[in-house]
């Protein structure tokens, strides 16, 4: 299989070629490494490359799972893997190693996904743009290198959009799968709380906001991946409702007629760019054509500004947890250049937080969840923009010259539609249905009630058929 054939197929397509004996895991790994060597110097999407080692693994690989044995990338989010150190985008945490794999890392490999590098992230995975100083420069949007790739799974989205891999690991604690998916023109699903394992080293991330998954070029790849990785692990504190026997099998039939609420405006009156509204109008027209009931609506009042503050405070507390653990391990004090300026301020902010304030933040998340769950009793799906603006120019969300709380308020006016569904634990996906005349992707988000990934995936597949996007990757 040559590079062009490799890039033309999605993950399941490559798996089918493996099953037919038309290629081998090693040949596919050689293709992925070739593409990475070609495009990554300009895009800066990869780190901790283990090319020769991973090629050796591929040569000895036995086909398994839905993907057989195809190249894959792990996000530099701290997901533990014995072959891949991690930095979480921080110079302080650089080259953190692991003695055993996370549950999810094992499930990825059981699914037939062979990791060969990690993908870049912002420091602590706490920004909707991937410009960590640790990475030696920004991760660039393949459709416009002057713009952001999104974040925090920015490197993953770039790798999929640029054809390095057909799908890649991502995680989402406030939009970190959906935001880069929107910026880079790929598909990104955030699952319900408790659907995908987060252990065994911890039971939750960021006050239960965070979950893991994948970004992909096709809905069916995401469905197949979810079939392989979903399921409660022993001792987990959260459990999603029972899953269907196969998400992938559901894609063969369209969803029943759905009642869809359309949001053209954002929480707290945050401005929404005309292109983002146009993307929603386009998606709403596709839904109506497919026979769904489309209802104009407004986002409910979730106390958005208070939620943004609570989100930021929980992130600050987690900066303290990560930093202090590293300092205790190394036995040294925090140095001036260990953290980017905004995150150094976030560390100090976290140290000032009281236990009562942290508990109040978690209560705020739960309050948001109750409001959104009640709202969705009248609808099957919420359709909104994924972002309030086009992919930002690099440098707009700088970590210099700004406090941590002010940075998070800026983030809250960009990823406005995303993080609320982390608080509620409800599933949400970004779909690349719309592109500007200048060739920039503009994502739309669909969200559903807790546990209804089945509806999201069925509807996503239907929209993918009406407005195909999978062949649109940056060559």
DSSP string spanning 211-246? EEEEEESSHHHHHHHHHHH-SPPTT-S--PPPPPS-
Annotation marks residue 297 as catalytic: no
User: What are the angstrom distances between the C-alpha of 133 and each of 153, 168, 311, 376, 399?
Assistant: 16, 23, 23, 41, 10
- pLDDT band at residue 291 under the 50/70/90 scheme: very high
pLDDT at 67 (0 to 100): 99
Q: What is the pLDDT of residue 471?
A: 80
Q: How much of the chain exceeds pLDDT 90, in percent?
A: 99
Residue 148 appears among annotated catalytic residues: no
> Considering 149, 176, 384, 460, which one is annotated as catalytic?
176
For residue 138, the 8-state DSSP code is P
For residue 470, what pLDDT is reported? 82
Distance CA 437, CA 203 (A): 45
Measured CA to CA, the distance from residue 180 to residue 128 in angstroms comes to: 7
Residue 459: C-alpha distances to residues 69, 220, 283, 406, 452 (Å): 28, 12, 11, 37, 11
Of 351, 464, 471, 475, nearest to 404 by C-alpha is 351
Are 170 and 213 contacting, i.e. CB atoms less than 8 angstroms apart?
yes
H/E segment holding residue 297:
strand 293-297
Alpha-carbon gap, residue 460 to 128, rounded angstroms: 23
Q: What is the pLDDT of residue 142?
A: 97
CA–chain centroid gap for 234, Å, is 24
Rounded to an integer, what distance in angstroms lies between the CA atom of residue 325 and that of residue 339? 14
- Maximal C-alpha separation, the chain: 63
Mean predicted confidence (pLDDT) in 279-301: 98
CA dist., res. 222 & res. 161, Å (int)? 15
Of 187, 173, 266, 177, the C-alpha closest to 219 is 187
What is the structure's pLDDT at 166?
Answer: 98
Cβ count near 296 (within 10 Å): 9
Query: For residues 93 and 143, what is the distance between their CA atoms, to the nearest angstrom?
Result: 31
- What SS3 class is residue 432? strand
Q: Is 326 a catalytic residue?
A: no
Mean pLDDT on 111-125: 99
- Sequence-distant contacts of 345-352: CB under 8 A, at least 24 apart: 345/403, 345/404, 346/126, 346/315, 346/316, 346/319, 346/404, 347/316, 347/319, 347/320, 347/323, 349/312, 349/313, 349/316, 349/403, 349/404, 349/405, 350/313, 350/316, 350/317, 350/318, 350/319, 350/320, 351/320
Supply the mean pLDDT for the chain: 97
Which CA distances in Å does 404 have to 136, 317, 454, 458?
21, 12, 37, 39
Catalytic residue among 75, 153, 208, 386: 75
Beta strands in 134-285 (DSSP E): 140-141, 144-148, 167-172, 187-190, 211-216, 259-263
Q: In terms of Cα–Cα distance, which of 455, 470, 379 is closest to 223?
A: 455
Q: Is the dihedral of CA 19, 250, 190, 152 positive or negative?
A: positive
pLDDT digits (tens, 9 = 90+) for 393-406: 999 999 999 999 99
Distance between CA atoms of residues 373 and 378, nearest Å: 10
- Residue-wise pLDDT tens digits, 312-350: 999 999 999 999 999 999 999 999 999 999 999 999 999
pLDDT of residue 475: 65
Count Cβ atoms below 10 Å from residue 3 Cβ, excluding itself: 14
Average pLDDT rounded to a whole number, residues 281-291? 98
Residues 77, 90, 149, 152: which is the catalytic one?
A: 152
What confidence score (pLDDT) does residue 81 get? 98
Is the CATH number 3.90.1300.10 carried by domain 3-310+341-466? yes
Looking at residue 403, its pLDDT comes to: 98
pLDDT in tens, 242-257: 999 999 999 999 999 9
Separation of alpha carbons 230 and 212, rounded Å: 10
What is the pTM (predicted TM-score) of this model? 0.98
Over residues 411-456, the pLDDT tens digits come to: 999 999 999 999 999 999 999 999 999 999 999 999 999 999 999 9
């Amino acid at each position: 299989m040559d590079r062009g054939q490799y890039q033309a197929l999605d993950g399941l397509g490559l798996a089918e070629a493996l099953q037919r004996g038309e290629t081998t895991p090693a040949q596919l790994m050689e293709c992925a490494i070739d593409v990475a060597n070609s495009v990554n110097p300009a895009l800066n999407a990869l780190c901790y490359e283990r090319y020769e080692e991973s090629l050796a693994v591929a040569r000895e690989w036995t086909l398994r799972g839905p993907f057989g044995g195809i190249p894959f990338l792990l996000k530099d989010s701290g997901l533990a893997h014995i072959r891949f150190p991690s930095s979480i985008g921080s110079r302080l945490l650089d080259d953190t190693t692991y003695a055993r794999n996370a549950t999810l890392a094992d499930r990825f490999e059981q699914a037939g996904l062979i990791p060969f590098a990690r993908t870049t992230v912002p420091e602590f995975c706490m920004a909707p743009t991937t410009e960590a100083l640790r990475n030696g420069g920004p991760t660039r949007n393949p459709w416009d290198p002057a713009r952001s790739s999104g974040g925090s799974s920015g490197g993953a989205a770039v790798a999929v959009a640029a054809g390095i891999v057909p799908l890649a690991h991502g995680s989402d604690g406030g939009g970190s799968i959906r935001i880069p998916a929107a910026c880079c023109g790929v598909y990104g699903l955030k699952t319900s709380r408790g659907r995908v394992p987060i252990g065994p080293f911890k039971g939750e991330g960021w006050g239960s906001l965070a979950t893991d998954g994948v970004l992909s070029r096709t809905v069916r790849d995401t469905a197949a991946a979810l079939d392989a990785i979903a399921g409660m692990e022993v001792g987990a504190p959260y459990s999603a409702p029972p899953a269907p026997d196969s998400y992938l099998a559901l894609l063969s039939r369209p969803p029943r007629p759905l009642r869809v609420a359309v949001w053209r405006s954002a929480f707290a009156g945050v401005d929404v760019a005309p292109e983002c509204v146009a993307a929603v109008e386009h998606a709403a027209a596709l839904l109506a054509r497919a026979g769904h009931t489309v209802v104009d609506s407004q986002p409910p009042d979730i106390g958005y500004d208070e939620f943004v503050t609570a989100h930021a405070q929980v992130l600050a507390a987690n900066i303290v947890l990560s930093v202090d653990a590293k300092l205790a391990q190394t036995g040294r004090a925090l140095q001036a250049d260990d953290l980017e300026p905004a995150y150094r301020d976030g560390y100090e902010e976290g140290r000032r937080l009281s236990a009562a304030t942290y508990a109040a933040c978690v209560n705020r998340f739960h309050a948001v969840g109750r409001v959104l769950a009640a709202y969705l009793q009248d609808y099957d799906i919420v359709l909104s923009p994924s972002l309030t603006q086009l992919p930002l120019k690099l440098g707009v969300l700088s970590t210099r010259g700004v406090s941590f709380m002010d940075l998070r308020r800026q983030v809250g006016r960009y990823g406005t539609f995303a993080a609320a569904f982390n608080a509620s634990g409800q599933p949400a996906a970004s779909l690349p249905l719309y592109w500007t005349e200048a060739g920039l992707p503009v994502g739309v988000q669909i969200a559903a009630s807790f546990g209804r990934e089945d509806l999201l995936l069925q509807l996503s597949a239907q929209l993918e058929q009406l407005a195909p996007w999978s062949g649109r990757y940056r060559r």
